Amino acid sequence: MNKTKELTVLVYLFNMKEDKLLFVKRNTKPGVGMWLPPGGHVREKETPIQAAIREVYEETGQEFTVPEQHCLDERTFEIPLPDRIQVEDIDENHQHVDFIYVGKITHEKPIRCEKGKEVKWLSKEDINSVPTFDNVRDYAKQLLSVQPEIEELRTYLDATEYELLEKVYEKLCEYCHEASPTGHGLDHARRTFYNGLDIAIKENANLLVVGLSCLLHDVARDIQTNREHWIDGANVAEDLMKEAGIPEDVRNLVHQCILEHELYSFSKSQPITLSLESKIVQDADRLDAIGAIGIARCFMYSGSHGNELWDPKEKIEPFDPTDSSKSAIGHFQEKLLLLKDSMNTDYAKKLAWERHEFILRFLRQLRRESGIPGGGFW
Ligand SMILES: [Fe+2]
Ligand SMILES: [Fe+2]
C-alpha cells in the first residue's frame, strides 16, 4: 500500500498477418531471462502512450501508431485508454503501475535489438514454451486466440474422454442445426465448454462431466414447451449421450448438472448443496453472460423476444429466470450485474471481475450517449 509507485508501460504488439506478438528477452531487472512484451518506465515529460511508442521503437525497431491525444478544451487533452492497468510488486519498497497497451504494426520493419537483448515475434505455441510471467502468458494467449484450441485440451483429457466429447459434440451439431436467435446456440455451448474446462482443470474437477454438461446444458433452450428448459434439456441430453455411448454413471451426473445450472443464489429458489462439477457448470455459463459477450448476447436475446431497449416504467422485480419480458437494460439490472457475486469458484470470480468492470464501463458510456439512467446498480 505504502510502496513507492513508478509509472511503466507494456505493449502487446500484433503482427496480424502471422498471428504473433512481439516479445523481448530481458537482460535487466525485473524478469532477467524472461520473455516480455516491449515496455519500460514513463519518463518525466511523457504521457504513458508516448512512452509506449518510444519503448517499442527503442527496444524492437517497430512502429505502431495511435492517435496520441485529442483536444477536449484549451488546456485538457484526452489520451487513448490502455487496455488495462496493472500494479506489480517489484521489490519490498516499490511497485510498477503498468499501463498495458495493445497495438498492431502498420508494416513490418526489420527487427532491431538493444545490446544483450533478443527480440522475436512469438506465436501462441512459442509463448507456451518460453519463460515468462503467468499473467503475461495468459493475456497474450487470450489476445492471440479467442478460445483455446480443442487440441490444447488433449493434454488434460485421456483419449477416451476426448473421443466421447467429440462424439457428443457431433450429435449436438446435428441436433442444433439452426442458428439460435436468443444467443443460446452452438457458439454459446462451445464457449461455455471452454470456460468450464478451463475452470475444471484449475479445480481438479471431473473434466468429462463438466465438458458434457457445458456442451449440453442449453440444448433445449429455444424449444417452446410448458416445461423449464433445464428439464427438457436434461432429457434431450440423456438421449444424445446414450447415442454417443456415454456410460450411465456419467450421464446421471451430467443430468444433475443440467437440472441445476440455472439456480441462482440471488433468486427466490432454495439454496441447495451442489457438486463441484455443478458449481463449475454454473460459473462457466454465467461467464458467458457477462463481459463483451454477455452484452452482445443480452441484446440478441432482447431483440428475439421483441423487448424494448429500456422501459422507464419497468419495475425490477427479484430475478425470475423464466421471465423473458424485461427490457435489455432491465435484464442488466435484474441479472447480469449480479452475476459477478454469484460465482462459485475462486478462479471464476477472478475471471468475472474484468468482465463485470467492462459491463459497468459500457453502461456508463450508454448513459452518456443516451441518457438512459439505469437504477441504483451503477
Ligand atoms: Fe440455461
Ligand atoms: Fe447457458
Domains of the chain: 4-144 (3.90.79.10), 150-370 (1.10.3210.50)
Cα 147 to the center of its chain, rounded Å: 9
Q: Please identify every residue whose CB atom is under 5 Å from ligand 2, which is an ion.
A: 218, 285
Among the bound ligands, the one closest to the CA of 183: 2
Q: What pLDDT band is residue 150 in, cutting at 50, 70 and 90?
A: low
Q: How many CB atoms lie within 10 A of CB 38?
A: 25
Ligand nearest to the CA of 192: 2
Mean pLDDT across 276-293: 97
Assign 184 a pLDDT band (cuts: 50, 70, 90). very high
Out of 53-62, 151-160, 326-335, least confident range: 151-160
- Please give the distance, rounded to the nearest whole angstrom, from the Cα atom of residue 313 to the centre of ligand 2: 28
Mean pLDDT of the chain: 89
In sequence order, the β-bridge partners of residue 119 are 24
For residues 236 and 251, what is the distance between their CA atoms, to the nearest angstrom? 12
- Cα 217 to ligand 1 centre (Å): 6
- What was the pLDDT predicted at 169? 93
Q: How many angstroms does the Cα of residue 218 sit away from the middle of ligand 1?
A: 5
Residue 228 C-alpha to ligand 1 middle, in angstroms? 9
* Ligand 1 mean position, distance from CA 230 (Å): 6
Contact at 8 Å (CB) between 120 and 30? Answer: no
Going from the Cα of 316 to the center of ligand 1, the distance in angstroms, rounded, reads 21
Q: Which ligand is nearest to the CA of 229?
A: 1
Going by pLDDT thresholds of 50, 70 and 90, the confidence category of residue 226 is: confident
**Cα-to-centroid distance, 334 and ligand 2 (Å):** 17
Give the amino acid at 343: M
Q: Which residue has the higher pLDDT, 311 or 189?
A: 189
Residue 328 CA to residue 206 CA, distance in Å, equals 35
Q: Which residues contact 48 (CB under 8 A, 6 or more apart)?
A: 7, 9, 42, 79, 82, 99, 101
Mean pLDDT to the nearest integer, 175-199: 91
Q: Rounded CA gap, 202 and 182, in Å?
A: 30
**Residue 286 scores a pLDDT above 60:** yes
Mean pLDDT of 295-323: 86
Q: Which residue has the higher pLDDT, 30 or 327?
A: 327
**Over residues 356-372, mean pLDDT:** 89
- DSSP secondary structure of 211-259: HHHHHHTTTTTT---SS-HHHHHHHHHHHHHHHTT--HHHHHHHHHHHH
**Higher per-residue pLDDT: 339 or 30:** 339
Distance 184 CA to ligand 2 centre (A): 6
Query: What separation in Å is there between the alpha carbon of 154 and the centre of ligand 1?
Result: 27
pLDDT digits (tens, 9 = 90+) for 310-330: 887 887 777 777 777 789 998
Average pLDDT over residues 132-141: 92
Residue 124: phi, psi to the nearest 5? Answer: -60, -40
Residue 151: its pLDDT value, please?
Answer: 63
Which cell numbers hold the place of 365? 458510456
Q: What is the pLDDT of residue 352?
A: 97
Is the full-model pTM beyond 0.85? yes
Q: What is the pLDDT of residue 271?
A: 64
Is it the case that residue 37 has pLDDT exceeding 60?
Answer: yes
Ligand that lies nearest to the alpha carbon of residue 230, given by its number in the listed order: 1
**Count of other CB atoms within 10 angstroms of residue 171:** 20
| Radius of gyration (C-alpha) of the chain in whole angstroms | 24
